[in-house]
């Protein structure tokens, strides 16, 4: 009898390790590359995981060095059509410094430019009108007003006035929303990653740190905007010179680090043994390369931590992001477990 009770207890713990708090969950992936090909799309995996949406980065918006004006760059190329049963959600990434020196008229002009560019990509590739458009920007208190004007103007664009507009939200913008402001959008997307200090070469993992996240999650329910959830599944390399971040290598995994070029300093930190080129970058002897990696176990832990603090009846759960490498690192069972946390 004791053995059976013990078994039932263990089964119960495993079954409820993720809080089931949502009535309706839509599964999605981010796609953050410039070419959507058949290899990357891998519709067989998407079907087996019941993926319903792809949040596809249509283009970036940054400052042109020559004109010093904000311009869209790096348009998505659809080399392979997305399966008809999967919705496409356009995403536009805007660097924060793009918004720093604009006046109100320039913000509205930029917003119209962005909306027209989205419309152009939709029309050129014979895509359906999306149900949602997402703008990704890590705005600050100094760029808040410009960013919010831009969002309002995109919402007013004639073609998109009935399309939901969403904005990515970082944890610090959740906790300090009275200072950072709440964007004038239909809903937010909580990026539950990139929460540490990437500039600090001594940080454990700036992608996801459970202890850092714990300082913010209690504030989520007080945020006055409905939130979807995004969980990280990637790995990158960070190059430091004299403790200063020089470059991000994405993607990069520890098994790609050559013992002949680097010496391991700590579990995820390597020192350049000499002067050489690696991944198109010239390394100087003594440079530090830190590999920060999300594993299936770590992504699941992040999902468990977040799921218990989001209580929407309907929620989109998006994994960052869809590519061949990540699909090799994460099995269907790994990905199912992450999505299941929210279902």
C-alpha to C-alpha distance for 178 and 200, rounded to whole angstroms: 27
Q: pLDDT tens digits for the chain (343 residues)? A: 433 444 334 334 444 456 555 569 999 999 999 999 877 787 689 999 999 999 999 999 999 888 888 999 999 999 989 999 999 999 999 999 999 999 999 999 999 999 999 999 999 999 999 999 999 999 999 999 999 999 999 999 999 989 999 999 999 999 999 999 999 999 999 999 999 999 999 988 999 999 999 999 999 999 999 999 999 999 999 999 999 999 999 999 999 999 999 999 988 999 999 999 999 999 999 999 999 999 999 999 999 999 988 888 899 999 999 988 999 999 999 999 999 999 8
User: Based on the number of CB atoms within 10 Å of its own CB, is 129 exposed (0-12), middle (13-18) or buried (19 or more)?
Assistant: exposed
- CATH 3.20.20.80 range(s) for the chain read 19-233+294-340
Q: Which two tokens stand for residue 244?
A: 């200063």
C-alpha to C-alpha distance for 274 and 261, rounded to whole angstroms: 7
Q: Domain 19-233+294-340 belongs to what architecture? A: Alpha-Beta Barrel (3.20)
User: Based on the number of CB atoms within 10 Å of its own CB, is 89 exposed (0-12), middle (13-18) or buried (19 or more)?
Assistant: buried
Tell me how crowded residue 174 is: count the other CB atoms within 10 A of its CB: 22
φ and ψ at 180, to 5 degrees? -80, -20
Question: What are the distances in angstroms from CA 20 to CA 11, 149, 313, 343?
Answer: 16, 37, 11, 5
State pLDDT tens for residues 244-296.
Answer: 999 999 999 999 999 999 999 988 999 999 999 999 999 999 999 999 999 99
C-alpha to C-alpha distance for 264 and 251, rounded to whole angstroms: 19
Q: What is the pLDDT at residue 328? A: 92
């Amino acid at each position: 009898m004791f053995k059976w009770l013990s078994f039932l207890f263990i089964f119960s713990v495993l079954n409820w390790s993720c809080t089931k708090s949502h009535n309706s969950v839509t599964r999605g992936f981010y796609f953050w590359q410039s070419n959507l090909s058949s290899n990357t799309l891998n519709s067989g995996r998407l079907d087996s995981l019941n993926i319903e949406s792809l949040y596809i980065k249509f283009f970036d918006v940054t400052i042109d060095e020559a004109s010093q004006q904000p311009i869209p760059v790096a348009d998505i190329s659809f080399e392979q059509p997305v399966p008809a049963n999967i919705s496409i959600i356009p995403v536009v990434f805007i660097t924060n410094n793009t918004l720093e020196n604009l006046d109100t008229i320039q913000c509205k002009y930029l917003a119209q430019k962005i909306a027209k560019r989205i419309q152009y990509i939709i029309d050129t590739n014979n895509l359906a009108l999306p149900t949602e458009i997402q703008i990704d920007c890590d705005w600050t208190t100094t760029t808040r007003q410009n960013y919010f004007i831009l969002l309002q103007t995109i919402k007013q664009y004639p073609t998109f006035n009935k399309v939901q507009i969403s904005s990515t939200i970082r944890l610090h913008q959740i906790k300090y929303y009275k200072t950072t402001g709440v964007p004038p959008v239909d809903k937010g997307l909580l990026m539950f990653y990139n929460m540490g200090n990437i500039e600090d070469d001594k940080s454990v993992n700036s992608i996801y740190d459970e202890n850092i996240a714990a300082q913010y999650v209690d504030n989520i329910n007080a945020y006055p905007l409905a939130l979807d959830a995004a969980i990280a599944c990637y790995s990158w390399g960070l190059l430091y010179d004299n403790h200063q971040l020089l470059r991000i290598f994405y993607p990069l995994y520890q098994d790609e680090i050559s013992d002949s070029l680097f010496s391991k300093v700590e579990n995820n930190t390597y020192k350049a043994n000499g002067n050489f080129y690696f991944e198109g970058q010239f390394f100087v002897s003594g440079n530090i390369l830190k590999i920060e990696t999300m594993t299936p176990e770590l992504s699941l832990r992040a999902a468990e931590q977040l799921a218990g603090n989001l209580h929407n009846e309907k929620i989109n759960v998006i994994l960052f992001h869809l590519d061949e490498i990540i699909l090799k690192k994460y099995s269907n069972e790994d990905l199912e477990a992450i999505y299941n946390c929210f279902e």
